Structure 1
Amino acid sequence: MLVNNLQRYSVVLLLLVAVACGKNDQPAMQGPPPVSVVAQKVIHANASYYDEYPAIVRALNEVELRAQVNGYITGIHFTEGQRVKKGERLYSIDQQQYQAAYQQALANLQTQEANLLKAEKDVERYRELDKRDAIAKQQVDYAEATYSAAQKQVEAAKAAVNSVQTNVRYSTIVAPFDGTIGISNVRLGAAVSAGQTLLNTISSDNPIAVDVTVDQREIFRFTQLQKNATSSSDSTFRLAFGADVYLASGKISVIDRAVDPQTGSIRIRLTFPNPDHSLRSGMSGTLRVQTHTQNSVVIPFEAVTEQLGEFFVYVTVEDDKKVSQRKVLLGKQIGKNIIVREGLKEGETIVVKGVQNLREGSAIALAQPEAAK
Structure 2
Amino acid sequence: MRSILYTAFIGSILLAACGQQQQQAGPMAPAAVNVTLEAVKPGNPLYYDEFPATLTALNQVELRAQVSGFVTGIHFKDGQRVRKGQLLYSIDAQLYNANYQQAVANLNVQEANLARAQKDADRYHELQKNDAVARQLVDNADAALEVAKKQVDAAKASNAAAQTSVRYTRITAPFDGLIGISMVKPGAPVTAGQTILNTVSTTGEMAVDFNLDQSQIYRFSQLLNTTPKDSIFQLAFGSDEYPAPGKLVLLDRAVDAQTGTIKARVVFPNKEERLRAGMNGTLKVKNASGEQALLIPYKAVVEQLGEFFVYKKTDSSTVTQQKVVLGKPIGTDIIIQSGLQAGDSIVTQGVQNLREGAKIASVPPAAPAPAKQ
TM range (shorter): 0.7 to 0.9
Task: Describe the superposition over 1:63-84 as per-residue Cα deviations: whole angstroms up to 9, x where unpaired.
Answer: 2221111110001112222332
Q: Flag the 1:209–1:295 CA change in 2: closer, same or farther, 3 A.
A: closer
Counterpart in the other structure of 2:187 = 189
Aligned partners of 1:282 and 1:153: how far apart in 2? 52
Which moves more between the two structures, 283-292 or 146-155? 146-155
Aligned residue for 1:233, secondary structure, equals helix
Q: Is the 8 A contact 1:55 1:286 kept in 2?
A: yes
Alignment pair present for 1:307 and 2:304: yes
Task: Describe the superposition over 1:205-247 as per-residue Cα deviations: whole angstroms up to 9, x where unpaired.
Answer: 3322211112222222222322xx2323222222222222222
Which moves more between the two structures, 53-62 or 11-20? 11-20
Counterpart in the other structure of 1:93 = 91
Q: How does 1:1-373 map to 2 (within 5 A)?
A: 4=1, 6-16=2-12, 31=29, 33-133=31-131, 140-226=138-224, 229-292=225-288, 293-318=290-315, 321-360=317-356, 361-370=358-367
Task: Describe the superposition over 1:132-158 as per-residue Cα deviations: whole angstroms up to 9, x where unpaired.
Answer: 445565655554444433333322222
Task: Describe the superposition over 1:156-187 as per-residue Cα deviations: whole angstroms up to 9, x where unpaired.
Answer: 22222111101000111111222222222211
Q: Is the 8 A contact 1:237 1:290 kept in 2?
A: yes
Q: Is the 8 A contact 2:37 2:362 kept in 1?
A: no
Which moves more between the two structures, 187-196 or 35-44? 35-44
Query: What letter corresponds to residue 188 of structure 2 in structure 1?
Result: A
Aligned-residue offset at 1:330: 1.6
Q: Is the 8 A contact 1:49 1:290 kept in 2?
A: yes
Aligned partners of 2:367 and 2:170: how far apart in 1? 79
Q: Flag the 1:348–1:118 CA change in 2: closer, same or farther, 3 A.
A: closer
Query: What letter corresponds to residue 289 of structure 1 in structure 2?
Result: V
Aligned residue for 1:205, secondary structure, equals coil
Aligned partners of 2:346 and 2:103: how far apart in 1? 92
Aligned partners of 1:114 and 1:304: how far apart in 2? 94
Q: Flag the 1:368–1:252 CA change in 2: closer, same or farther, 3 A.
A: closer
Aligned-residue offset at 1:49: 0.9
State the Cα RMSD in Å: 3.0
Aligned partners of 1:119 and 1:325: how far apart in 2? 101
- Percent same amino acid at aligned positions? 51
Aligned partners of 2:365 and 2:208: how far apart in 1? 50
Query: What letter corresponds to residue 315 of structure 1 in structure 2?
Result: K
Aligned partners of 2:120 and 2:325: how far apart in 1? 97
Which moves more between the two structures, 121-130 or 41-50? 121-130
TM normalised by structure 1 equals 0.86
Aligned partners of 1:33 and 1:304: how far apart in 2? 24
Q: Flag the 1:34–1:112 CA change in 2: closer, same or farther, 3 A.
A: same
5+ residue gaps in structure 1? none
5+ residue gaps in structure 2? none
Query: What letter corresponds to residue 76 of structure 2 in structure 1?
Result: F
